[in-house]
């Protein structure tokens, strides 16, 4: 698998791409985006949670 990065549409960054795609999918009547599937989003969040746990980062909402 090749992962590339670069300038995205509309100057978006981070998870804004996912929000834009979810909005498009909802408007199209889709239950899940083929570009940003639920499992992909969950995998990213699990990874971020693991990193936060490892380095000791806690947010108020984590309580």
pLDDT tens-digit map of 25-61:
999 999 988 887 889 889 989 999 999 999 999 989 8
User: In 3-state terms, the chain is what percent helix, strand and coil (to 5)?
Assistant: 55, 0, 45
pLDDT (0 to 100) of residue 49: 93
pLDDT (0 to 100) of residue 25: 93
Alpha-carbon distance 33 to 19, whole Å? Answer: 11
- Is the pLDDT at 10 greater than 90? The verdict is no
Alpha-carbon distance 54 to 33, whole Å? Answer: 31
pLDDT (0 to 100) of residue 57: 94
pLDDT (0 to 100) of residue 5: 60
């Amino acid at each position: 698998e090749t992962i590339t990065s670069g300038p995205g549409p509309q100057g978006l960054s981070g998870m804004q791409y996912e929000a834009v795609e979810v909005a498009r999918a909802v408007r199209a009547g889709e239950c899940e985006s083929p570009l940003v599937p639920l499992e992909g989003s969950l995998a990213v969040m699990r990874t971020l949670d693991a990193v936060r746990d490892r380095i000791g980062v806690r947010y108020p909402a984590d309580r």
